[in-house]
Amino acid sequence: MGCTRVCVQLCVYVAFVAAIVAVDQDTSECLGPLTYYKDLGCTPIYDDEDNCPKRFNCNHIKQRSRDKCYINGRTYNPNQFLNSKDSNVCDVSCICKLSLSKNQIAAFHCVDHFKCTEIEVKDSCYIRQNPTTCCKNLTEICPVRMEDIPVCDVNGHMYRDGEYFVVNEEPDLICICQPEYKGKNIPPFCIKPKHSPCLHPAFSHNDYFRRNCAPVFNDHAEKNTCYKTMLCHVPDDVVIPSRLPFIMDNYAKNIIIHMIFLFSDMCIFGNLLMQIGDRLQPFSEYINCVDCICEVPPVLTCVYIPRDNCSSKISFS
């Protein structure tokens, strides 16, 4: 009976949802866990009055096989190597591998994936890097005078040799200031990665999306950058509702989730359905506090907050 009531509520609700699907609009300044949605290949859905997505359609992920790898819209079978069209400079000998654990998914295994050798730098020196070579040929530079360090003028902001910079018009580029930079954002100064350099889902056996987990960012101003970890539901998580929250049992969950991802302006975290504006008080062992809110369904937006700004009710030790 409870399930029927909720299903009817959702069906009536979605009958009034008018949405526009678009894929080419710039969403870099919008709310929501945008990097994660992009990594998953979700489709932004807009209404008629806003340039930012009201939600994302990620329903295609539910149809994926657990025994294959997926990246950039392409499918890889077990023991198939990652194609150069889909690999970044640091993706060395990546191959799709099945998981040995139940309920996990296939993922790419790479040689020294995302690992670079740390170099001890002398005082008054710095490391010159090249974004096209993945930590190779790192050069330690020890200028006699600070004014000897080459600089790059990017959008009116000055960067020194070896510093990363962001191009406002092309935020996806990975750029490092180097000598002879003349304002052209091309190799060897800049490269456009073939996939997100973040904790891309294709490189993890953890089935975070089907478990309805959420990425955790450093702060609200950096939700277009890499997320630092994934937060998953545990029984002691607490919803702080803006309105009456939904709590599903397993029977209702299987019936409703498909409708949520297709039609509803609601977030789902584990077995919790949350309306826009609802917050989550996670129970966790994270050192820092975590603040989560339903902004752009279906995935929560979660950020770390400094301990000195964190309420004792949501701090973790």
Condensed to tens digits (0 to 9), the pLDDT of residues 70-92 reads 999 999 999 999 999 999 998 98
Query: Is there a domain that residue 198 lies in?
Result: no
| Tokens matching residue 109 | 């295994």
Instruction: Tell me the residue type at 258.
Output: H
What pLDDT, on the 0 to 100 scale, is given for residue 300? Answer: 95
pLDDT tens-place string over residues 135-161: 777 888 999 998 899 999 998 899 999
120 pLDDT band, cuts 50/70/90, is confident
What pLDDT, on the 0 to 100 scale, is given for residue 197? Answer: 82
pLDDT at 45 over 70: yes
pLDDT tens-place string over residues 21-44: 444 556 667 889 998 999 999 999
Report the sign of the C-alpha dihedral through residues 111, 114, 119, 125, in that order. positive
pTM of the model: 0.77
Per the structure, the complete domain to which residue 49 belongs is given by: 34-109
- Section 217-244 average pLDDT: 78
pLDDT at 14 over 60: no
Does residue 306 share a domain with residue 223?
A: yes
How many structural domains comprise the chain?
Answer: 3
Does residue 154 share a domain with residue 96?
A: no
Q: Which helix (H) or strand (E) holds 6?
A: helix 2-14
* Residue 284 DSSP code: -
What pLDDT, on the 0 to 100 scale, is given for residue 95? Answer: 97
Does residue 145 share a domain with residue 54?
A: no
What pLDDT, on the 0 to 100 scale, is given for residue 256? Answer: 58
Does residue 182 share a domain with residue 217?
A: no
Query: Is there a domain that residue 45 lies in?
Result: yes
> CB neighbours (10 Å) of residue 277?
12
